[in-house]
């Protein structure tokens, strides 16, 4: 086990009816900005619940934060924050709204020329205060509600960067599973795969004697497999399924299981390119890459794959050499059981073309990911060629 630091001061308020708690969680006598996305919260009742809880607060609104929150949009928010003297930010939405709010929180206090420095020049480490933020989560997937990370896009330049800062941990996150009842089932499916992949990226590398972290990662994978069918139920939705889905997705990326262990994140890196090129949902890209990346790296990852197969899918028989492949097949079967394809061809994307395009793009940015930093553009080429 490597040395590590674990720190996560976010207060999680979890359960039915908890949005009402905003009335005491959001500081009184402060100027509050509520940030949200495309307006689905206005049709599903969440907006009304939030406003009802904040009826004694001084709230201004900033809507329109898009999926993959855009720098241009967030700059507008920062302008309003400064002009209106906003002192508390409340994100209401999914990971994109929360990520965007984190950026606004930090960038509003940045004294340099351009807040873009936070994303490209490591300026986050020079900033000593941020506007406090809290959130109401409505789409379990990214874990942003329970960590200090943020991913921001700049469409004008076709760029996507991330930052992390202790200053942007949400002060609180309200997780009411009932807010997910109006989600399209595809988003639930995506959220389950996204959460599953967050665990995989922190787990499926090589053994390092992190017995506790391994067991906890496996616990989340087992949970996601167990709850997926119930969580995907609609009409009526199942509270227990949604609650466990929401909590598992939060714990998948609250940084706990990744402490002291090697991490991969190559699937995410390659996946971003597929979203940019073909508009596949983030989770869809992960599912068409992972199985083939695992096959490409099967010798390096064999020991963990065998452990994963045994503990998560009960693969205990057969030759050890074969069990790694069996674990990959079981992963594909799990994704497919959710209606999630595991090949590019299933999405109508030509693997040969995608392999070429992605390789070119990744080589331009000198892409190097994976626990050995050896997933490069060329490796991505080989991986995507197989995804048929």
- Nearest approach in angstroms of CB 18 to its own copies is 7
Length of the chain: 388
Residue 270: partners with Cβ closer than 8 Å, 6 or more residues away:
285, 289, 293, 358, 362, 369, 375, 380, 383, 384
Rank residues 314 and 348 by Cβ distance to its own copies and give the closer one: 314
Task: Give the number of C-alpha atoms closer than 13 A to the C-alpha of residue 57, restricted to the C-beta side.
Answer: 27
Residue 121 CB: number of other CB atoms within 10 A?
A: 12
Rank residues 272 and 323 by Cβ distance to its own copies and give the closer one: 323
- Tell me if 206 contacts its own copies by CB under 8 A: no
Indicate which single residue of 151, 188, 193, 210 sits in contact with its own copies (rule: CB under 8 A).
Answer: 210
Rank residues 2 and 234 by Cβ distance to its own copies and give the closer one: 2
- Tell me if 222 contacts its own copies by CB under 8 A: yes
Per-residue binder mask for its own copies (CB under 8 A), 233-252, x = binder: -------x--xx--xx--x-
Indicate which single residue of 70, 99, 194, 218 sits in contact with its own copies (rule: CB under 8 A).
Answer: 218
Rounded to whole angstroms, the Cα distance separating 221 from 257 reads 12
> Which 2-41 positions form the footprint of its own copies (CB under 8 A)?
2-18
Indicate which single residue of 192, 227, 232, 384 sits in contact with its own copies (rule: CB under 8 A).
Answer: 227
> How far is CA 306 from each of CA 204, 239, 286, 323, 374, rounded to the nearest angstrom?
10, 34, 21, 6, 22
> Which 262-321 positions form the footprint of its own copies (CB under 8 A)?
none
Mapped onto helix, strand or coil, the DSSP state of residue 293 is helix
- Tell me if 209 contacts its own copies by CB under 8 A: yes
Total residues contacting its own copies (rule CB under 8 A)? 40
Are the CB atoms for 246 and 181 separated by under 8 Å? Answer: no
Rounded to whole angstroms, the Cα distance separating 77 from 104 reads 7
- Nearest approach in angstroms of CB 258 to its own copies is 13
Indicate which single residue of 20, 164, 219, 346 sits in contact with its own copies (rule: CB under 8 A).
Answer: 219
> How far is CA 88 from each of CA 21, 114, 343, rounded to the nearest angstrom?
16, 22, 44
User: What's the burial of 63, exposed, middle or buried (CB within 10 Å: 0-12/13-18/19+)?
Assistant: middle
Rank residues 137 and 248 by Cβ distance to its own copies and give the closer one: 248
Rounded to whole angstroms, the Cα distance separating 175 from 19 reads 8
Indicate which single residue of 212, 321, 337, 352 sits in contact with its own copies (rule: CB under 8 A).
Answer: 212
Footprint on this chain of its own copies (rule: CB under 8 A): 1-18, 209-213, 215-216, 218-220, 222-223, 226-227, 240, 243-244, 247-248, 251, 259-260
């Amino acid at each position: 086990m490597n040395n590590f630091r674990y720190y996560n001061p976010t207060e999680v308020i979890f359960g039915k009816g908890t949005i009402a708690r905003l009335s005491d969680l959001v500081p009184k006598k402060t100027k509050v900005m509520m940030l949200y996305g495309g307006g689905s919260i206005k049709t599903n009742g969440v907006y009304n619940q939030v406003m009802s809880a904040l009826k004694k607060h001084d709230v201004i609104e900033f809507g329109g934060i898009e999926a993959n929150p855009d720098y241009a949009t967030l700059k507008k928010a920062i302008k309003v924050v400064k002009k209106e003297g906003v002192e508390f930010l409340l994100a209401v939405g999914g990971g994109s709204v929360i990520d965007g709010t984190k950026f606004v929180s930090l960038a509003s206090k940045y004294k340099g020329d351009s807040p873009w420095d936070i994303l490209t020049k490591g300026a986050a480490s020079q900033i000593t205060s941020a506007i406090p933020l809290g959130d109401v989560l409505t789409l379990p997937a990214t874990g942003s509600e329970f960590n200090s990370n943020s991913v921001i896009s700049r469409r004008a330049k076709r760029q996507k960067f991330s930052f992390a800062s202790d200053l942007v941990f949400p002060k609180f996150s309200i997780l009411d599973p009932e807010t997910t009842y109006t989600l399209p089932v595809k988003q639930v499916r995506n959220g389950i795969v996204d959460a599953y992949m967050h665990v995989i990226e922190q787990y499926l590398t090589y053994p390092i004697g992190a017995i506790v972290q391994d067991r906890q990662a496996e616990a989340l994978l087992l949970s996601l497999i167990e709850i997926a069918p119930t969580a995907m139920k609609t009409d009526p939705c199942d509270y227990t399924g949604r609650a466990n889905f929401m909590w598992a997705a939060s714990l998948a990326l609250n940084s706990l299981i990744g402490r002291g262990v090697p991490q991969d994140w190559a699937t995410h890196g390659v996946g971003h390119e597929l979203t940019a090129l073909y508009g596949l949902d983030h989770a869809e890209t992960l599912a068409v890459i992972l199985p083939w990346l695992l096959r490409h790296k099967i010798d390096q990852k064999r020991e963990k794959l065998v452990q994963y197969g045994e503990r998560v899918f009960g693969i205990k028989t057969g030759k050890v050499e074969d069990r790694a492949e069996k674990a990959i097949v079981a992963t594909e079967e799990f994704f497919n059981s959710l209606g999630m394809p595991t090949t590019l061809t299933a999405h109508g994307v030509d693997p040969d073309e995608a392999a070429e395009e992605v390789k070119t793009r990744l080589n331009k940015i000198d892409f190097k990911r994976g626990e050995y930093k050896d997933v490069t553009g060329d490796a991505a080429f080989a991986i995507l060629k197989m995804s048929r």
